[in-house]
Amino acid sequence: MALSVALQAALQSLLAHQAAIATAAHNTANAQNPNYSRQIAKLQAALPIPEPSLRDGMSFGQLGTGVTVGEIIRQFDALLADSLRIADGRVGYHETLVNGLERVEALMGEPSDSGIAALMTEFFEAWRNLSANPENMGARALVLERARTLLSRFNALQSQLAHEQDLSLRQMQEEVNALNRALAQVARLNEQIAASKAAGLQPNDLMDERDAVLRDIARLLPIQVSEQPNGSVMVLAGGHELVSANRFRSVKLAFDNNGKPIVVLEDTGDAIPLGEGVLAALQEFTSEVVNRLREKLQRLLDALANTINGLHQSGFGLDGTTGDPFFVLISGQWQVNPSLLNDPRRLAASQTGAVGDGTVAAAIARLMDKPLADLDGQTVSAFYRNLVGDLAARTNGTQNALTAFSEARRFLQDRRDAVSGVSIDEEMVDLMRFQQAYIAAARVLQVVDNLVSDLLTNLVR
């Protein structure tokens, strides 16, 4: 009886350590897989059997029957997974925003000798030069040329910024598509995981896959994940259920009354709060950063054009013309009045009509540092400088936040790896341990075999 139990125990040991070695091999194979959670074969003693004894009768036995693998445990910390999802969202938000802000900064190109600030100074310089040389056709041509250069820089910047808005809207659409695919994937994985759990299996690798997809989702928008008893997870975003068991609700890109891009549920049309994530960054970039910048630039140009026009219309050209605007709106864009370009003598530098009078030109030149009501009492140059400064401060702040949040995420990733990561050295040690156990079990088998054969040989003889 006991010999067959020993035989059984040795066999169990062989099988259990084969499973343990397989687990170590699986771990080693996935050592470089960032989403993989280390698995441990939990060895536990097999159910002991009752051993009949003369003294104690058939009391519940102390005779062990070997070892079994109770379960394959997944080394996983749900709290860390939660923190990592939040960190991913924050890093994604700041990364996307920094990307956009740096592109806008490059478009503005300040400080430089060719930015709008320099062109504006040159433009006003040309007016001041005209005021000292009102009868000089070269001075007139210079004013017109610099006005055109300044306008074309403004208009180019506006259209580049509009292009940036287009691009980020398109990216937002793509991210929403990716979000829908990820939600569908979570629902599918939920189904598979619940099914295999119901069958008493341990779907560790599927759970790793699902966690990876959840992190992808959390990068886009903040979610709350709660695990259900059957192994599936419920995904909520701002109180809206996105995934429950094997069902998911898709979302789509829409626009609110102010033209701001928002993400809504396809079935109910409810807007999902975007919190901090890539989608929130794209939303903020298009509707806040770029839009506000474009509005401010337009406001600056409008104030400049209207004030200059007012002064210019009060003056006289060399040929006695008066009342011409300097800038005109052609299909919504400010342009230099074509009649001035055709005949620079019409440029009204003079207040009295005298050739040597440059009073109006001097007054226009003075506009650069004159507080304007249209600009909340700021001067044209200060308004632009503040605009550049605000954008720079925003970029700088976001860059610093990105560095800080990236550091924080790196720390969390290290914590996660400390729990779930694979250490090859550790697996090698385990392999050696299991190998020894396996060899030992085989030895036991051999000994029992010897005992049995000794018994049989001696009995037969």
Q: Rule CB under 8 A: which residues touch other proteins?
A: 31-32, 34, 101-102, 105-106, 108, 110-111, 113, 117-118, 120-122, 125, 128-129, 131-132, 135, 350, 352, 354-358, 362, 365-366, 368-369, 381, 384-386, 388-389, 391-393, 395-396, 399, 410, 413-414, 417-419, 421-426, 428-429, 432
- Vertex 161: Cα angle to 155 and 163 (nearest 5): 105
Report the residue number, 21 or 183, with the smaller CB distance to other proteins.
21
Contact 277, 89 (CB under 8 A): yes
Q: Rg for the chain (alpha carbons), in Å?
A: 38
Report the residue number, 198 or 418, with the smaller CB distance to other proteins.
418
Report the residue number, 403 or 450, with the smaller CB distance to other proteins.
403
Min CB(240)–other proteins separation in Å: 35
Instruction: For residue 224, give the nearest of 91, 89, 101, 118 by alpha carbon.
Output: 89
Report the residue number, 221 or 365, with the smaller CB distance to other proteins.
365
Report the residue number, 135 or 302, with the smaller CB distance to other proteins.
135
Min CB(398)–other proteins separation in Å: 9
For residue 252, list its beta bridge partners: 264
| Amino acid identity for residue 291 in this structure | N
CA–CA separation, 264 and 172 (whole Å): 13
Contact 285, 96 (CB under 8 A): yes
Min CB(290)–other proteins separation in Å: 16
Min CB(417)–other proteins separation in Å: 5
According to DSSP, the β-strands at 333-336 and 247-248 are unpaired
Contact 65, 12 (CB under 8 A): yes
Contact 192, 206 (CB under 8 A): yes
Report the residue number, 44 or 352, with the smaller CB distance to other proteins.
352
Report the residue number, 137 or 456, with the smaller CB distance to other proteins.
137
Report the residue number, 87 or 388, with the smaller CB distance to other proteins.
388
CA–CA separation, 201 and 206 (whole Å): 11
Contact 460, 25 (CB under 8 A): no
Min CB(251)–other proteins separation in Å: 33
Instruction: For residue 241, give the nearest of 187, 175, 174 by alpha carbon.
Output: 187
Distance, CA of 337 to chain centre: 46
Min CB(55)–other proteins separation in Å: 49
Instruction: For residue 242, give the nearest of 212, 219, 266 by alpha carbon.
Output: 266
Instruction: For residue 82, give the nearest of 222, 197, 243, 280 by alpha carbon.
Output: 222
Contact 120, 381 (CB under 8 A): yes
Min CB(36)–other proteins separation in Å: 10
Min CB(261)–other proteins separation in Å: 25
